[in-house]
């Protein structure tokens, strides 16, 4: 299931990223702001539980998400700002990192680094800035499933219709949250109009 929340604020933030003249720190910051808006959508069905806290008026029982039941797994590199946004918001979430890179000629994704631990019983939030062919995020989903994820939600800034279709067809049980679905892919499997190479733009590695 794919949720594509629409709002003037989200549209404006995505269009800030489309401006090729924005510096990398604005690019990363804007990705973080978009991620927090998507995260709010993704966590709407999370159960809360009572916890006692010390307030200025003494002890009080309040309802909070069980943050330790949440694991965020990012697909390097462009998703690193998304990862930061999730753990800034859900402070006690567990982190995992997957290095997945597309081959420039074949466009096939390849895992080169796995630093994601046991996902058993966790609500796993996979963050991957771009869904082009969908290969990278599908690899990430396969890995967290093998590691025992209970529930999987994915967050993305921009995707192509074919990439989204690929995730939906392969995983009926994964919830996708995406800020913008663009027109399609070019002959190099880049999203059109898209952002260009999001990892390079986020970290000035041209």
Which listed range, 59-67, 114-122, 164-172, 194-202, lies at the site for ligand URA (CB under 6 A)?
194-202
List Cα–Cα distances, 146 to 4, 53, 73, 172, 190, in angstroms: 27, 37, 14, 16, 29
Which listed range, 9-17, 111-119, 173-181, 191-199, lies at the site for ligand URA (CB under 6 A)?
191-199
Tell me whether residue 48 or residue 188 sits nearer to ligand PRP (CB atom). Answer: 188
Residue 177, phi then psi, degrees to nearest 5: -125, 120
Choose which of 74, 79, 194, 202 interacts with ligand URA (CB under 6 A): 194
Choose which of 4, 181, 189, 196 interacts with ligand PRP (CB under 6 A): 189
Residue 108, phi then psi, degrees to nearest 5: -80, 140
Name the residue with tokens 């709407």: 44
141 binds, among ligand URA, ligand PRP, none (CB under 5 to 8 A by kind): none
Q: Are 61 and 51 in contact (CB under 8 A)?
A: yes
Tell me if residue 172 falls in helix, strand or coil: coil
Residues 6+ apart with CB under 8 A from 82: 31, 32, 35, 74, 127, 128, 129, 155, 157
194 binds, among ligand URA, ligand PRP, none (CB under 5 to 8 A by kind): ligand URA
DSSP 195: -
Is 194 among the residues that bind ligand PRP (CB under 6 A)? Answer: no
96 binds, among ligand URA, ligand PRP, none (CB under 5 to 8 A by kind): none
Is 182 among the residues that bind ligand PRP (CB under 6 A)? Answer: no
What is the contact surface with ligand URA in residues (CB under 6 A)? 78, 130, 132, 190-191, 194, 197-199
């Amino acid at each position: 299931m794919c949720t594509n929340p629409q709002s003037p604020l989200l549209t404006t933030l995505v269009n800030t990223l489309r401006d090729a003249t924005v510096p990398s720190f604005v690019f990363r910051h804007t990705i973080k702001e978009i991620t927090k808006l998507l995260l709010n959508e993704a966590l709407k069905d999370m159960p809360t539980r009572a916890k006692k806290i010390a307030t200025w008026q003494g002890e009080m029982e309040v309802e909070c998400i069980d943050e330790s039941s949440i694991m965020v797994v990012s697909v390097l590199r462009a998703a690193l700002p998304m990862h930061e946004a999730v753990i800034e918001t859900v402070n006690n979430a567990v982190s995992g990192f997957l290095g997945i890179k597309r081959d420039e000629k074949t466009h096939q994704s390849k895992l080169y680094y796995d630093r994601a631990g046991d996902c058993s019983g966790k609500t796993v939030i996979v963050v991957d800035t771009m869904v082009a062919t969908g290969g990278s995020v599908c690899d990430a989903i396969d890995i967290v499933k093998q590691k025992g994820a209970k529930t999987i939600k994915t967050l993305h800034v921009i995707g192509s219709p074919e990439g989204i279709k690929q995730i939906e067809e392969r995983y009926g049980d994964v919830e996708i949250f995406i800020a913008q679905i663009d027109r399609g892919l070019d002959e190099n499997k880049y999203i059109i109009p898209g952002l260009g190479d999001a990892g390079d733009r986020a970290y000035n590695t041209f």
